[in-house]
Amino acid sequence: MLHAVMEFAVRWMAAARLRAGSWLLALPMLAPAAWADEPLWVDAGRPTPLALSALALLADAPSHGLDARDYGLPSLQRASQAQPLAPDALAPLSAAMRRYLQDLHDGRVPPPAAPASARASATRDPFDAAAALRAAAVLGDLSPAVRAAVPPLPQYERLREALARHRALVDHPAWRLPWPALPLSAGARVRSLVPGQPWPGLPLLAARLLALGDLAAGEALVLPGGDAVYDGALVAAVQAFQRRHGLHDDGVIGRATLAALNVPPAQRVQQLQLALERLRWTPLRQAPRLIVVNIPEFVLRAYEVEGDRIAVRTQMKVIVGQSLDTRTPLMHEDLRSIEFKPYWNVPASIARQELVPRLRRDPAHWAREGFEFVGAGGAADPVLTEAKLQAVLAGALRIRQRPGPRNALGDIKFVLPNRQAIYLHHTPAVQLFERARRDFSHGCIRLEQPVALADFALQGLPGWDEARIRAAMAADGPSSVVLAQPVPVLITYATALVKQGRVHFFDDIYGHDRDLARALRLPRP
């Protein structure tokens, strides 16, 4: 996306894919004989220019987060140096290039083979690596095949640039020294560095922030003697670093900020590689609008096509599922309707594990929160009894919460039908949006600005403006509206992305990065 994690699945992206691959369509008619043959890798006992180009592309695989060894590059390079070359000496280069192009398009571990916890349901446009390679042989140029294979997303190229920068930091001397202990202020129980304090680690802090680009070269500090204190440009640089890592930008170096500063560049390299892999899984669908939720960032963005580019129409904080046992699943579904003043139908698992035990401890919670029983015929019963709680546990009754100020869904619910019963909704617990880490829900996604999202989703429906949305949210009873055009919703997972020219990193709260890294280490079939 333009300044965020994903410029996903919009019309101009699909058009870009078609433009990149349209050269494939005409070439069979231009040169049918060459189209049917394998590329020519050896001529007169020497590698052809096309072979040298192919070897250079495979050597550049790490710039895409791929491993050149997956394509047999070392043996191919050795074979290419023999003099003279046998006509079939570089024959394996064809299979290597086909695999490379397919990996660029589908990913090293395509979604169907990736860990279930680390993928979203995705439908990718088809790509024929063999046809692309044959077409490139006709042209005598492999670069169009690569352009047709990679995701046509600006974010992809920005992540590649960030990957190159962080690879250059892997052996940087600023990461060779350990941190001195943080100060312990009078009366404090936790060590932390606040502005105005001295600290022996200031030169190391400055060196790392300078290497990372948070401290400008012209602001690099000279720290003479032991009287230097943490202030000025160094505090501003730490705040910039904190913003890039999903931390409160208060300039205080505590446990979380110090831990982020201490992450070695090699680990950031891996995060960027995994982000590139996930972009290769991205479903590219034609749609004038799109909603994307990036779970580790705790942010939702809504996009709209503007000619040949897309614009972020609204952006907001979100609360996602708890990391321990109620994680928000990754998915790609359509937002189809909006419910105002919704009932909350308590999921059976929450009723069994949480609500029924609480009601037995505190029966007053029932009326206070506005719960009622609902039978198989849909009849509502507001009277709480132990027998009915037993019926809930047996599956004969269910519990729902009536609309109102204490309703867990707030005043509006965004419905995207899916097997996991996940939806987006308002929440009365607005104070939680002030937290830096926001995994507090049972799996559904709570919205900081539901009115803004409703306004975005209801564009094109006559009579629906912000005033009517707020009126529907304030009404006494429930109502709903079906969208004229469904809006795709992509719930994704990226712990590295580039925004406004700066790379941002987020914690792997669900362990999906760990799972994907493990899958990528497995031998190729």
Q: Encode pLDDT of 183-203 as tens digits.
A: 876 666 778 999 998 999 999
What is the structure's pLDDT at 288?
A: 87
* CA distance linking residue 323 with residue 458, whole number of Å: 32
Is 173-263 a domain of CATH 3.40.50.10710?
no
Instruction: Read off the DSSP letter of residue 63.
Output: G
Assign 29 a pLDDT band (cuts: 50, 70, 90). Answer: very low
User: CA separation (Å) from 409 to 174, 335, 341, 406?
Assistant: 48, 16, 8, 9
Q: What's residue 5's pLDDT? A: 36
Phi (first) and psi of residue 267, to 5 degrees = -70, -35
* 293 three-state secondary structure: strand
Sequence-distant (≥ 6) Cβ neighbours of residue 504 within 8 angstroms: 243, 244, 245, 246, 297, 496, 497, 498
- Measured between alpha carbons, how far is 446 from 275 in angstroms, rounded to an integer? 25
Q: Are the CB atoms for 488 and 334 separated by under 8 Å? A: yes
CA angle (224, 229, 232) in 5-degree steps:
105
Query: Domain segments of the chain: what residues?
Result: 11-164, 173-263, 287-513
Which pLDDT score is estimated for 11?
Answer: 36
Does the N-terminal peptide bond of residue 405 adopt cis geometry, omega within 30 degrees of 0?
no
CATH fold for domain 287-513:
L,D-transpeptidase catalytic domain-like (2.40.440)
**CA distance linking residue 478 with residue 473, whole number of Å:** 9
pLDDT at 14: 38
What share of the chain in percent tops pLDDT 70?
Answer: 87
Alpha helices, DSSP H, located in 90-201: 92-106, 129-139, 143-149, 154-167
* Cβ pair 461, 332 in contact under 8 A: no
pLDDT tens by residue, 164-186: 999 999 999 999 988 888 887 66
Cα radius of gyration rounded to whole Å, the chain:
28
289-294 vs 46-47, strand pairing mode: unpaired
Residue in this structure with the two tokens 């506005």, named with its chain if needed: 370
Q: State the DSSP H helix or E strand holding residue 372, giving kind and residue range, or none if neither.
A: strand 371-374
| CB 424 within 8 Å of CB 416 | yes
Q: Which of 380, 397, 379, 381 is nearest to 389 (CA)?
A: 397
User: What tens digit of pLDDT does each residue of 453-492 get?
Assistant: 999 999 989 999 999 999 999 998 999 999 989 999 999 9
Round to whole Å and give the CA distance between 254 and 184: 11
pTM over 0.75: yes
Q: Give the separation between CA 346 and CA 371, rounded to whole angstroms.
A: 9
- Taking alpha carbons only, the member of 404, 391, 385 closest to residue 476 is 404
